[in-house]
Structure 1
Amino acid sequence: MKTKAVRFFKELFSINNAQGPLDMHAGVPPGLGGEALSALTAPVTKEEVRRAVMSMKSFKAPGPDGFQPFFFKQYWPIVGDELWRTVKDAFRLGYSDISLLETQMVLIPKVDHPVSLKEFRPISLCNVAWKVISKVLVARLRPFLPDVIGPFQGSFIPGRGTRDHNIIAQEAFHFVRKEGSDPLSPYLFVFCMERLALRISELLQEGLWKPIQLSPGGLSLSHLFFADDILLFCQASDDQAHLVASTLEELSRSSGLRVNLTKSKFVSSRRVSLRRIDTLEGLLGIGHTARIGKYLGVPMTHGQPRCADFYDVLDKIQIRLAAWKSKLLNKAGKLCLVKSTISSIPVYSMQTLWLPQAVCNRIDQACRRMLWAKSDNTRFWSPVSWDVVTQPQEFGGLGVREARKVNVSLLGKLVWDMLTAPQKPWV
């Protein structure tokens, strides 16, 4: 079993095909000026290293060296100079002691009862010294990322988030259906994806890539990236399918990153015939689906969201209720759990979608049951009305948030963005 596991993950993290020339880097204009380059290449200061150490969680799992960040925080006056020299030498020389790069890999199950190695998520536990090097790099890169990363890539970029991408993706799918661990790794991945974005932009300028037009004179959408979630938009033709496949293959040859086609799907307009869909499946090596499901944790719907789109949210609430067994908690404990946990579970979806009233009612009902019921399956009596419970504490209520009002307030932030940030693509 040990040998099989080692072989599986060695193959998973190895590059099977030889890397080709970095064609995707050709013709990329420089995105940073002299000041930014000077800031990125300046000698590492002791204060930068200290801030990186102090920003770590003290008792994170240790790497192969056995030290936790707490040790370096507690004994900084003693070990600080040595750690600073190690980090400074790594920046100055361009390499470091190979022992710093050693990691321990831990397997975390993705499902409750895993039966194959594919159902485990590998997590790397790095040495603190290497984490400090990564954190210093990240701290230097972060202010300049918006200058070199395009507007259709939102992960790890200050001022961008899943909410913006969810809105654009929602609008794109509506249009289609209407017609028919190491802190540095994510940033390196963002730069790799930006190479792909620049390549697609180059194909757009050459007139080869045919994007979708969301509205007359509106946004032309060809791609949307958030971390490793990639959405590509083009016409449903053989030429475009060949172009998409060749572009993804070019990314694989250039960076070593390969798209998992078995986990990928494509959606088409209702006007696309079944014969054409079969042809596109063969050209792309990707299966067709009528519904995309979720993107960044939010259901992609055509038209008004349905109650069925939020069953998973309601299930999470029920699972939490079953785990806590409300009859074992006093009133103060129940109120704390309602305000801190149950009410917060649907917040992520509420940021971009208008939840059906039935879903909001069931969320409020779950909160009421948690507060007043003695057991999960019995009828309960509310000593005060729900309107009183949802009042602020200074007005005699308990400060529990009503689901519909939370939904309205979160969507109100989108209105604010429309007024104050018109440069966002979805606006």
Structure 2
Amino acid sequence: MEAFSSMIRKAVSAGILDGIKLPNDGLILSHLLYADDCVFMGKWSDNNLKSGLKLMRCFYFCAGLKININKSLLFGVGIESAEVERMASLLNCKPGNFPFVHLGVYVGSKMHKIDSWKAVFDVFESRLALWKASVLSIGGRVTLIKSVLESIPNYFLSLFKAPVGVVKGLEKITRKFLWG
């Protein structure tokens, strides 16, 4: 993936691919890579999308790792859905809708609303459904809470500021499990 990242950076510096210029003479943001996931970002144009597709094809020929375009999604920020669908059909991928989940994070969701934290509550409750509080000692319950339950929302809390209702709701579930 490092080679792919280098290819993208060279394409941006050569003007083949247009990234997003951050304000105040900031960086040009063109892609994010994590393990085998790649997110392209750039100006919305036919040439930019085709250049991204050509880069992926070139990477396939060089590395032998084929990118499954059929599984890919195309998102347009501030672009009409008809235009996104048109471009997606040209690229042979699917149009995406906001909000969506990427690497376990809701992108485009309003995380200041309690409803957006439903996934965290669902994980809490699914874990608790597997455990029987009545057969565990108080020490066992405290250990499970500290080692498992308290680590579940850490990823979300490192990215988003949780509403007070979310924190209180998670604490309520935890207290209910602790005291049986």
Same fold (TM over 0.5): yes
**Cα 1:340/1:266, change in 2 over 3 Å:** same
Task: Write the distance in 2 (CA, Å) between the matches of 1:298 and 1:275.
Answer: 26
TM-score by structure 2 length? 0.90
1:268 counterpart residue number: 76
Which residue number in structure 1 is paired with residue 46 of structure 2?
238
Query: How many Å apart are 1:232 and its aligned residue?
Result: 0.6
Aligned: 1:325 with 2:132: yes
Tell me the distance in 1 between the aligned counterparts of 2:145 and 2:98: 33
Partner Cα separation in structure 1 for residue 13 and residue 161 of structure 2: 37
Change in 2 beyond 3 A, CA 1:345/1:304? closer
1:351 to 158, 162, 165: 158
> Comparing both structures, which one devotes a greater share of its residues to strand?
2
- Map 1:182-201 to 2 at 5 A: 193-201=1-9
Q: Which residue in 2 is equivalent to 1:257?
A: 65
SS in 1 for 2:70: helix
CA contact (8 A) 1:317 1:342 kept: yes
**In 2, Cα distance between equivalents of 1:333 and 1:205:** 57
Alignment-mate amino acid for residue 119 of structure 2: D
Distance 1:305 1:199 in 2: 38
Q: Which residue of 2 aligns with 1:121?
A: none
Tell me the TM-score normalised to structure 1 length: 0.40
Unaligned runs of 5+ in 1: 1-192, 374-427
CA deviations over 1:59-105 (Å, ceiling 9, x no partner): xxxxxxxxxxxxxxxxxxxxxxxxxxxxxxxxxxxxxxxxxxxxxxx
* 1:75-86 correspondence runs (5 A): none
In 1, Cα distance between the equivalents of 2:151 and 2:85? 43
Question: Match of 2:84?
Answer: 277
Q: CA deviation at 1:217?
A: 2.3
**1:311 match:** 118
User: Deviations 1:106-131 (Å, cap 9, x if unpaired)?
Assistant: xxxxxxxxxxxxxxxxxxxxxxxxxx
Q: Give the paired residue count.
A: 180
8 Å CA contact 1:241, 1:283 repeated in 2: no
Distance 1:299 1:329 in 2: 34
- Secondary structure of 1:209's partner? coil
The offset of 1:280, in angstroms, is 0.9
Following TM superposition, by how much is the alpha carbon of 1:344 offset from its aligned partner in structure 2, in angstroms? 1.4
2:30 maps to 1:222: yes
Determine helix, strand or coil for the equivalent of 2:38: strand
Structure 1 CA distance, aligned partners of 2:103 and 2:39?
A: 11
* Conserved 8 A contact 1:293-1:300: yes
Cα offsets for 1:257-305 (capped at 9, x unmatched): 11122332121122x2344223311222221112252222222235544
Using the aligned pairs only, state the percent identity.
Answer: 27
Separation of aligned partners in 2, 1:292 and 1:230:
18
| Superimposed CA distance per residue, residues 363-414 of structure 1 (whole angstroms, 9 cap, x where no aligned partner) | 10111001113xxxxxxxxxxxxxxxxxxxxxxxxxxxxxxxxxxxxxxxxx
Structure 1 pair 292–251 and aligned structure 2 pair: CA distance change class (3 A): farther
C-alpha spacing 1:303/1:314, structure 2 compared with 1 (3 Å): closer
What are the superposed Cα offsets for residues 141-160 of structure 1, whole Å, 9 maximum, x if unpaired? xxxxxxxxxxxxxxxxxxxx
Deviations for 1:13-36, whole angstroms, at most 9, x for unmatched residues? xxxxxxxxxxxxxxxxxxxxxxxx
Partners of 1:346 and 1:302 in 2: CA distance: 16
Q: Is the 8 A contact 1:265 1:292 kept in 2?
A: no
Change (3 A) 1:274 1:368: closer
Aligned to 1:109: none
- State the alpha-carbon separation in 2 of the partners of residues 358 and 207 from structure 1: 48
Kindly report which structure 2 residues correspond to 1:16-415, keeping only aligned pairs within 5 A, or say none.
193-270=1-78, 272-291=79-98, 293-301=100-108, 304-373=111-180
Counterparts of 1:319 and 1:278, CA distance in 2: 36
RMSD, aligned CA: 1.8
Whole-angstrom CA distance in 1 between matches of 2:112 and 2:56: 33
Could you list the per-position Cα deviations for residues 171-202 of structure 1 after superposition, in whole angstroms to 9, with x for gaps in the alignment?
A: xxxxxxxxxxxxxxxxxxxxxx1221121122
Aligned 8 A contact 1:245 1:283 in 2 = no
Q: Which is greater in Rg?
A: 1
